[in-house]
Amino acid sequence: MTRSLEGLVVGDAFGDGWFLRSEEDREGLWAARELRPAPWLWTDDSAMALVLCAHLAGHGEVLEDDLAREFAAAYARDPDRGYGPSMHGVLRRIGEGEYWREVTTGAFGGQGSHGNGAAMRVAPLGAWFYDRPAFAAAQAWLTALTTHSHREAVAGAVAVAVAASLAAGGAEEEAPPRADFLHSVIRYVPKSEVRSGLEVAAGFPARTSIRHAASVLGSGVRLSAQDTVPFALWSAAGHLDDLPEALWQTVGGWGDRDTTCAIAGGVVAARTGTGAVPVAWREACEEIPPWGDFRGARDGDG
């Protein structure tokens, strides 16, 4: 879990640094692999992942009532981490004592949110249950419901958790081809636009460019799970043994780049760890706070 968490935080901070001023040549800077100026600050993606990791370290499984309150408490301590507009209201209301299930199911006229927030934070959970992808899927479903009750948001969280579980569980084996990995993830994802997007992604030719993938799948521009997760997992699946390259490729899809990079970083690092992250990146990235340091939380967690 620790490795995935660290990869998620690095990805989040790296990606967020690429929200450039309009006059900057993002394509030229990206092509030149020019790093953005420090510091790279992590966002709500990491803030919520840290809460989830603390929860799992303390309970060993997801307790929805407790987790919802913990998300709300973390938000109250530090609300300026880039939370989405709807999450400000959801987490504030839960923190004020409203029952989380009524808050989340009542959002958006009773449809619930299909934003990418449930998916962006969940990769470390998959790594925690690295030997149990089906259980990781079930637990990811529960984590999603505490803030996002829409089927697409749930499907996105399930897909990311399963991807991280499979990546961590296969760390000692040769990385599978991209399409094979995506098909393994799809087996656990409920019928949804997220699943359909993953099926499209798995069918892309091997030489598909990052630009084409982003244009077909979406890369989070609409901030929805279905517009974010298929692209992020397609990118991660093509670079399962190379975390820095996975992040460079993922950010090149632009869109909601802190979240796509958080997802890809959490999945790939579940397999590789963060040892290959350049020193300059580590120095630029905001540190994980002490309450998020869970090294040694579980036997076998690297």
What 3 state SS string does the chain have? CHHHHHHHHHHHHHHHCCCCCCCCCHHHHHHCCCCCCCCECCCHHHHHHHHHHHHHHHHCCCCHHHHHHHHHHHHHHCCCCCCCHHHHHHHHHHHCCCCHHHHHHCHHHHCCCCECHHHHCCHHHHHHCCCCHHHHHHHHHHHHHCCCCCHHHHHHHHHHHHHHHHHHHCCCCCCCCHHHHHHHHHCCCCCCHHHHHHHHHHCCCCCCCHHHHHHHHCCCCCCECCCCHHHHHHHHHCCCCCHHHHHHHHHCCCCCHHHHHHHHHHHHHHHHCCCCCCHHHHHHECCCCHHHCCCCCCCCCC
Alpha-carbon distance of 86 to 68, in angstroms, equals: 15
Does residue 298 fall inside a structural domain?
no
Structure confidence at residue 243 as a pLDDT band (50, 70, 90): very high
Q: For residue 226, give Cα distances in angstroms to 119, 155, 195, 236.
A: 10, 9, 8, 16
Structure confidence at residue 107 as a pLDDT band (50, 70, 90): confident
Does residue 117 fall inside a structural domain?
yes
Q: What does the pLDDT read at residue 118?
A: 97
Does residue 27 fall inside a structural domain?
no
Q: What does the pLDDT read at residue 108?
A: 82
Does residue 302 fall inside a structural domain?
no
Does residue 208 fall inside a structural domain?
yes
What phi, psi does 224 have (nearest 5°)? -100, 160
Q: What does the pLDDT read at residue 24?
A: 86
pTM of the full predicted structure? Answer: 0.94
Structure confidence at residue 291 as a pLDDT band (50, 70, 90): low
Does residue 196 fall inside a structural domain?
yes
Average pLDDT over residues 19-37: 89
Is the pLDDT at 293 greater than 90? The verdict is no
Q: What does the pLDDT read at residue 172?
A: 85
Segments forming the whole domain that contains residue 188: 2-21+38-292
Residue type, 24: E
Structural domains in the chain (count): 1
Q: What does the pLDDT read at residue 20?
A: 85
Please tell me which residue, 105 or 22, carries the higher pLDDT value: 105
Q: Of the candidates 184, 195, 136, 185, which has an alpha carbon nearest to the alpha carbon of residue 161?
A: 136
Q: What is the CATH number of the domain that holds 190?
A: 1.10.4080.10
Pair 18, 249: CB distance under 8 Å: no
Alpha-carbon distance of 105 to 278, in angstroms, equals: 43
Does residue 122 fall inside a structural domain?
yes
Does residue 28 fall inside a structural domain?
no
Alpha-carbon distance of 242 to 167, in angstroms, equals: 12
Mean pLDDT value across the chain? 93
Alpha-carbon distance of 178 to 240, in angstroms, equals: 9
Structure confidence at residue 209 as a pLDDT band (50, 70, 90): very high
